[in-house]
Structure 1
Amino acid sequence: MPPLHLYVDGSCGDNRNVGSETIAGWGVCIVRGDSGTGRGQGEVMQEISGRVMTNPESADYLGATVGSNNTAELTAIGHALRWALIEGGDDPLTIRSDSLYASNLANGNWKPKANKELVRRIRSLWLECQLNRYVSVEHVRAHRGHRWNERADHLAYRAMEGRNPEPLQFWKPGIR
């Protein structure tokens, strides 16, 4: 079976004065059979997106206390891992992110100085996923025309704005 790649991204409009009311969005583009070259190969299986939830009462709450670029990037990884757990299976999974910060916290290479509860929950999801499948993360350079990374950015940006994403068949890379 072709490899499974989950492209993740986060977006925050006002990243200077972040707080629990700051709106941030996350997006995940799930692709099977992508080569990683950025040309948009493979089949998009599903897209998911939403806003970063800072209210512990919310069903989508993962531990973020503020909306920011960093919490949005981390939340995207968390929801990608949640998707993998719900979807099931044992196919190897590669998360592709343009955030070294979020990637290195999610896989345990770095220790959190901030966003500790969010990172703790994401690490827990990561470890739970690894019980059934190999999970890895790869860095993708942001805003360089990589089709599926650009799509994840589009999903995150539109979620932050409270707008629906453009349908994939009409969307072009670079359109937010």
Structure 2
Amino acid sequence: MNTETPAAQAARTRIVIYTDGSASGNPGPGGWAAILLRLDAENNVIKKVPLSGPGKSITTNIKMEMTAPAEALKALGSPTDEHITIYSDLQMISKGMNEWLLRWKARGWLNASKKPVENADLWQNIEAAAAGRNISWEWVRAHAGHEFNEEADTLAKEAAQLAARRGVTFADT
């Protein structure tokens, strides 16, 4: 019988998430995906959970890329002390969360040019999903042969195809 507390178990494991997004036509029908991994202290995969979903309206690659980390974090449930690393092949995600977010908020969601931050609603969604969590935001080069990034890419494209089959059109936006 394992008598280890959840906090002790979390100290020995960590979560790694690979995210991706796709839009067929850009803009067009879209999809997002995430590969959630629980790793042990030796970086062995203990558990792997693939997640994906179609966009509900005509969208862009960037919007789907930004949807993926928020949806992945929501799928984890309540925040814990466990460390999470999120990899995105859209460098804007890691830069936004690591560098830009605090400045945008301090300026009332205006960028350095004093214009409204694009996709502020999606940044706020990511921020809300990340609240109370210990997260590192990292960039991974797209299409460079990384197993989990490639898997997330495939799932995001499949989700975009599902959105297209469902008949998502510009009328839905």
Same fold (TM over 0.5): yes
Distance 1:34 1:145, change over 3 A: farther
Q: CA deviation at 1:81?
A: 1.6
Deviation at 1:97, TM superposition (A): 0.7
**Root mean square deviation of aligned Cα:** 2.5
SS in 1 for 2:137: strand
Aligned to 2:136: 136
Within 2, Cα distance between the matches of 1:144 and 1:50?
A: 24
Distance 1:97 1:141 in 2: 8
The answer to whether structure 1 residue 32 and structure 2 residue 38 are counterparts is yes
Task: For 1:88 and 1:134, locate their aligned partners in 2 and report how far apart those are by CA, in whole Å.
Answer: 9
Runs of at least 5 residues in structure 2 that lack an aligned partner in the other structure: 1-11, 105-110, 112-116, 164-173
Q: Residue 48 of structure 1: which of 45, 48, 51 is its match?
A: 51
Max Rg structure:
2
CA contact (8 A) 1:52 1:75 kept: no
Q: Who is 2:16 aligned against?
A: 5
The answer to whether the 8 A contact 2:34-2:152 is kept is yes
Q: Is the 8 A contact 2:93 2:137 kept in 1?
A: no
Q: Which residue among 92, 97, 102 is the counterpart of 2:93? A: 102
CA-CA distance at 1:88 after TM superposition? 4.7
Deviation at 1:140, TM superposition (A): 0.6
Cα 1:106–1:75, aligned 2, differ >3 Å: closer, same or farther?
A: farther
Deviation at 1:42, TM superposition (A): 2.1
Moved runs in structure 1, 4+ residues, more than 3 A? none
Question: Where does residue 23 of structure 1 map in the other structure?
Answer: 29
Compared CA separation, residues 115 and 26, structure 1 to 2 (3 A): same
Aligned residues: 138
Deviations 1:27-56 (A, max 9, x none): 000112289xxxx962442111002235xx
Cα gap change, 1:135 to 1:122, in 2 (>3 Å): same
Asked if the contact 2:85–2:138 (Cα under 8 Å) also holds between the matched residues in 1, the reply is: yes
Partner of 1:167: none
Partner of 2:69: 77
- Quick one: higher RCO (CA 8 Å, sep 6+), 1 or 2? 2
